Amino acid sequence: MKFAISYSTADGLDPDRFVACARHAEDCGFDGLYLPEHIALYPGATLGPFEFPPSLPYPDPLDCLAFVAAATRRILLGTAVLLLPYHHPVVLAKRLATIDVLSKGRMRLLTVGLGTLPGEARATGVDFSSRGRRTDEAIDVLRLLWEGDEKGVSFDGEFFGFDDVTSYPKPYAATRLPIHVGGSSRAAARRAGRRGDGYFPGGALTPEERAIQWELARAAAAEAGRDPGRLEYTRWGSIDMSAERVEQFAAQGVTRIVVSPTSAEPEHQRDEMSAFAERFALPGAG
């Protein structure tokens, strides 16, 4: 089992605090660091029962990951989730590969999702109802550009099109970056199986629905001629979770658990991470 940290910017983005958290997570032995994304909020934006305060800070996750990569050595860099339909994949392919090269191969926990806020789609000029198809195309474009050579590659889709395009630099010592699919729907699970390197479902699912979605992801992979055994399975966990709970996750096929400190105080956050690392004997614990 691998363990990662999700960093919250709800109290603002202090660069020193951000770097200190990332370095401590790395020293504790956490596998990765995740950041969320929202491009545009607005009064009345809601996710289930939760209403987003319009002033809630959501800095650009890729800029933040590039920044923290310079201050760390080992920890992998991730998003949970990057709202893929609101990014142009030709631009995004270059940004992601650049971060991966500068971090020497650590931009490897990219998780993409569709987004749930119609106003966010309107603000970025995207038809909300088309975002699933746009995401599928964008994943294909990203991989095509990363794998293409100096002769260039072409694409003719519903949303994106180009002829004989090259994109350099390439990912660090790799032909492509892993793309995990996040979401809380059966469509997301099927997308993960057909196109993703892993599935990262949301937290608000019943155990029964969660099991159905994971089996859907695996079945979709098999139907697409892909190996279901190669799919990674990431889940949200709590920073005070027990060893028994982790064993239950492992029995369900989970390969990585992402936790978040509960305290808003940096010192207490570090204590929570240290205690978790010691409880599960992470490589840097002690």
Find out whether the peptide bond into 19 is cis, omega within 30 degrees of 0.
no
> pLDDT tens-digit profile of 247-279?
999 999 999 999 999 998 999 999 999 999 999
> What are the pLDDT digits (tens) for 67-119?
999 999 999 999 999 999 999 999 999 999 999 999 999 999 999 999 999 99
pLDDT of 285 above 80:
no
pLDDT at site 203: 85
Token pair belonging to 76: 């992998």
- Reply yes or no on whether the pLDDT at 11 is more than 90: no
Closest CA to 182 of 256, 273, 75: 256
Distance, CA of 210 to CA of 272 (rounded, Å) = 27
* pLDDT-derived band at 286, boundaries 50, 70, 90: low
CA-to-CA dists, residue 107 to 102, 254, 262, angstroms: 9, 21, 26
Mean pLDDT, the chain, whole residue set: 97
Dihedral angle over CA of 184, 185, 191, 194, nearest 10: 110
SS3 190: helix
Percentage of the residues of the chain whose pLDDT score is greater than 90: 96
